Amino acid sequence: DGRAAGRVDAALTEALGNGRHALLTADSGPEKRYRQWLAVRRGSVRAVVGTRAAMFAPVQDLGLVVVWDDGDSSHSDDNAPFPHVREVLELRAAQGRCGFLLGGHSCTVEAAQLVESGWALPLLADRERLRRAAPLVRTVGDGELARDGAARSARLPSLAWQTVRDGLRSGPVLVQVPRRGY
């Protein structure tokens, strides 16, 4: 979305300096966005960051295209012919013979299909690095719930209550409880 593009924009500005890349988002406003588009078209700007419409940016001699979180519904246009950022940039990468990087917190079915077909190669962190970075997730099964008297009356397992108490010592806690059967 525009906020994520703004963060990448700030990082690129810090790394490359002002005027070295273009930011193409609806938040920029039509005048600024058009000026940026023209700068890309003329070749005076060689890197583009943006939301969905940036997939059509007229970058000359494309070297790399990057899509973050291709499963995000905002990457798919609701208007015919319904282009998806991943698909358009796949085509541009193949046609321009450039690099294609698809990243995210999880692997979509479409990304897995690209790897399985041999079109793309997986780039994964090793298991130990993932363990260090990922939060600890613990689940409570039906057997534990049956033995937990507090869970029957409070509808929340004792493990969850203890985790909430521990978490509140360091900051806010969000508890999301799905309704059974939905």
Residue 129 lies in a domain: no
CA dist., res. 111 & res. 130, Å (int): 19
- Helical segments of 17-174, H only: 30-42, 85-96, 109-116, 127-133, 142-147, 149-154, 158-168
Number of Cβ within 10 Å of residue 96's Cβ equals 17
Domain match, 73 and 106 both: yes
Residue 45 lies in a domain: yes
Q: Helix or strand or coil: residue 9?
A: helix
Q: How are beta strands 64-68 and 47-50 bridged, if at all?
A: unpaired
Amino acid residing at 113: Q
Domain match, 71 and 96 both: yes
Per-residue pLDDT, 143: 78
Domain match, 111 and 47 both: yes
Amino acid residing at 49: V
Per-residue pLDDT, 181: 57
Domain match, 155 and 94 both: no
Residue 116 structural domain: 2-124
Q: Which residues pair with 64 in a beta bridge?
A: 99
State pLDDT tens for residues 110-163.
999 999 999 999 999 999 998 998 888 878 777 777 788 777 777 778 888 888
Is the link from the previous residue into 172 a cis peptide, with omega within 30 of 0? no
pTM for the predicted model, two decimal places: 0.74
State pLDDT tens for residues 27-65.
889 999 999 999 999 999 989 999 998 999 999 999 999
Domain match, 7 and 97 both: yes
Confidence grade of residue 70 (pLDDT, cut at 50, 70, 90): very high
Q: Which residues pair with 65 in a beta bridge?
A: 100
Per-residue pLDDT, 79: 92
Domain match, 43 and 98 both: yes
Give the CA distances from residue 58 to residues 37, 39, 67, in Å, rounded to whole numbers and listed in that order: 8, 10, 17
CA dist., res. 66 & res. 174, Å (int): 32
Vertex 11: Cα angle to 97 and 103 (nearest 5): 45
